Amino acid sequence: MEQIQANYQESRTAHEATIAKEHYAWTEDQVRRLDEGDTTVIAEFGARVYTDAVTGAMAQMLSHLPEMIGNVLEARGQGEASEKQFYAANPHIDPDAHGETVKNMAASYRQMNPQATQEQAIQEIGAMVTVALRLPQDAAPVAPVPPTPPPVPAFQPAGAGGNASAIPTAQTAIETFNEEFDVDDLDLG
């Protein structure tokens, strides 16, 4: 680790010297103007440093933007698929009338049961919502939950690069619900 730090410091010192000499070196005209009392030279230099910093930050952000958008779209698609699967398995639960309750319970369930499978979550959240809202249980039988299809990787343009694991992904209502509720603590019998 000490060798890595020493190598980094040596590389940084050399890089800073090169930038100072080749990119931020003052021209003879700037030095003469400053000697004559023209302090606008300092403002011009500060503006150059500021513009370089902003340009570099924007370039870095733009290089990761396609990947971030892809991750958001993928998460949205998975969320919509999970919701369709939930409501297909629980046809007696109306997404328009009970959607907020489902989202809140899904968030609580997932918080308390992060290891539950998608199928378990759908079944248990459906039971919790049915009990919480006093929905008739015999109104419609709960359909078996079909297996979750494998996720489709998000589109990623060439050269997007970056670390996808460092970018947070959106959480579906069902996943959030599954994390927050523990069905074992409910008296469903």
pLDDT tens per residue, range 108-130: 999 999 999 999 999 999 999 99
Q: What is the DSSP string of 42-84?
A: HHHHHHHHHHHHHHHHHHHHHHHHHHHHHHHHHHHHHHHHHHH
Q: What is the pLDDT of residue 148?
A: 65
Residue 41: other Cβ atoms inside 10 A:
19
Stretch 50-67: mean pLDDT? 93
Q: Is the pLDDT of residue 181 over 60?
A: no
**Distance separating alpha carbons of residues 130 and 81, to the nearest angstrom:** 21
More confident: 159 or 100: 100
Q: Is the pLDDT of residue 9 over 90?
A: yes
pTM: 0.45
Residue 141: other Cβ atoms inside 10 A:
9
CA separation, residue 141 to residues 35, 76, 88, 93, 115 (Å): 88, 28, 11, 11, 26
**Distance separating alpha carbons of residues 101 and 134, to the nearest angstrom:** 12
Which token pair is 20?
Answer: 């100072």
